[in-house]
């Protein structure tokens, strides 16, 4: 590789992006520029799913570096990218194609309102529970 190819274009604590691709600083794991846009048959992006299997890969730092690499390499994103990150890291995607935000599980698991037909029984006094049970 030349010095130009080795030059860091983007980086964070875990990842370095050069003209050739992304490299994990701690392990040396490398994703080439040519392979960055790899998709699976169902249209999901390959790398978010693969990296989710790595115990050493921190999702937020990989996502930041991967999105930065896509921008630097001129690779267009699509709705499948958010779904790929969501499926890979166990977080359900929010279907907003323009959204570049990472959706946390807490945001997805907001309590639903109970239907009006569901009635919650009023709590019984403690004395009534003891008398009824024993």
At residue 37, the pLDDT reads 96
What's the pLDDT tens digit per position in 114-134? 555 555 566 666 665 555 555
Secondary structure of the chain in HEC code, one letter for each residue:
CCHHHHCEEEECCCEEEECCEEEECCCCCEEEHHHCCCECCCCCEHHHHHHHCCCCCCHHHHHHHHHHHHHHHCCCCCHHHHHHHHHHCCCCCCCCCCCCCCCCHHHHCCCCCCCCCCCCCCCCCHHHHHHHHC
Residue 3 reports pLDDT greater than 80: no
Domain residue extents for the chain: 3-106
What's the pLDDT tens digit per position in 45-102? 999 999 998 989 999 899 999 999 999 999 999 989 988 988 888 754 444 444 455 5
């Amino acid at each position: 590789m030349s010095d130009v190819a080795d030059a860091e274009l983007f980086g964070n604590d875990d990842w370095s992006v050069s003209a050739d691709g992304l490299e994990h600083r701690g392990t040396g794991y490398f994703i080439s520029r040519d392979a960055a846009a790899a998709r699976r048959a169902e249209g999901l992006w390959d790398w978010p799913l693969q990296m989710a299997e790595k115990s050493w890969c921190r999702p937020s730092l990989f996502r930041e570096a991967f999105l930065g690499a896509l921008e630097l390499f001129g690779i267009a994103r699509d709705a499948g990218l958010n779904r790929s990150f969501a499926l890979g890291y166990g977080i359900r995607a929010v279907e907003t194609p323009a959204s570049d935000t990472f959706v946390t599980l807490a945001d997805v698991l907001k309590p639903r309102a109970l239907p009006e037909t569901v009635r919650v029984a009023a709590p019984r006094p403690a004395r009534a529970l003891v008398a009824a049970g024993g």
